[in-house]
Amino acid sequence: MLRTLLAATALACLATPALSQGQATPPVGPDYSKIAVKTTDLGHRTYMLEGAGGNVTVAVGDDGIIMVDGQFAPMHDKLKAAIAAISPLPIKYLVNTHHHGDHTGGNAAFAADGAVVVSHVNVRNYLAAGTTVNTTGAKVPPVPQAGLPSQTYDGLTGPVLEVKGRKAVLMHPEHAHTGGDTYVFFADANVLSTGDTFVNGRYPNSDWLNGGNIKGMIAATDTYLSFVNDDTKIVPGHGPLGNKTDLTAFNAMLKLTRDRMLALIKDGKSEDDIYAAKPYADLDGKYGANEQAAKNFMRVMYHSLKD
């Protein structure tokens, strides 16, 4: 639970105002009892689930289900019920797109239900060792054995997961949102699940303390744009269902904000100078960023390009 709450706090930093200096108690995350799971039919027995944490992708085959991401741990029962309403078949695979707790919190419970948890090897390493949240400095403790992926891959090419009648192709974009990202493509449904290498309608976080880099996020989205088409449904890590137009705009925003930050770094500006300059003020409203979220994005950009 501690890990879940820390992860919830870290996510809130990109979307909510900073705590006042006099507030000693950090936020503890959402009231999970009040959260309902929203299911969107993507066609060809493929679905997007929204609840608390990262978006979930579900692909139903003839003898089992492939699931991408498992949100926070307390969402397990609600996600399980939402999936059961789609299909009574068992979840055979749960793919972790990266190690953050809003995507991996459900690992232990879904594994206990019989799912094989699959990820890049770096996800298992981060979870097993414990990490530091890049935007807050909070320490996230190691995850118990039951919550670690049981099947991992190394390198850029992941496994092709199969249930009868369905295939999921897994690939690793290097040093993007984290050092252990996986994107998943369901070719038969023309559905791409990106994890947090693409978020729709908000600024992204690139976890520079744990292998992430904005340059890698740009490379990842360049790759996606090389194979998606106008009919591809794109399940982002956060935000509404996306398409090629949304992904193109996100890619362009990353390149624009990168170039602005590089110019400031080249001019010798310090991190505090950059906060004062507010180089993305004209974009903050478009991406729903309050003052704290805007500052966090500047910090992410600065450390990705300076460190």
Q: What is the mean pLDDT of residues 290-297?
A: 95
Grade residue 269 by pLDDT with cuts at 50, 70 and 90.
very high
Grade residue 307 by pLDDT with cuts at 50, 70 and 90.
confident
pLDDT of residue 30: 83
Instruction: Output the average pLDDT for the chain.
Output: 91
Is residue 265 situated within a structural domain? no
Query: Residue 8 pLDDT > 90, yes or no?
Result: no
Q: What is the mean pLDDT of residues 184-190?
A: 98
Phi, psi of 109 (to 5 degrees): -70, -40
Q: Minimum mean pLDDT among 17-31, 180-194, 234-248: which range?
A: 17-31
Is residue 302 situated within a structural domain? no
Is residue 286 situated within a structural domain? no
Q: Which of 235, 237, 249, 227 is nearest to 191 (CA)?
A: 235
Is residue 278 situated within a structural domain? no
Is residue 284 situated within a structural domain? no
Structurally, how many domains does the chain consist of? 1
CATH number at residue 152: 3.60.15.10
Model pLDDT for residues 31-78, shown as the tens digit of each residue: 999 999 999 999 999 999 999 999 999 999 999 999 999 999 999 999
Model pLDDT for residues 189-224, shown as the tens digit of each residue: 999 999 999 999 999 999 999 999 999 999 999 999
Is residue 262 situated within a structural domain? no
DSSP string, 52-91: SSS-EEEEE-SS-EEEE---SGGGHHHHHHHHHHH-SS-E
Is residue 269 situated within a structural domain? no
Residue 237 structural domain: 2-243
Is residue 256 situated within a structural domain? no
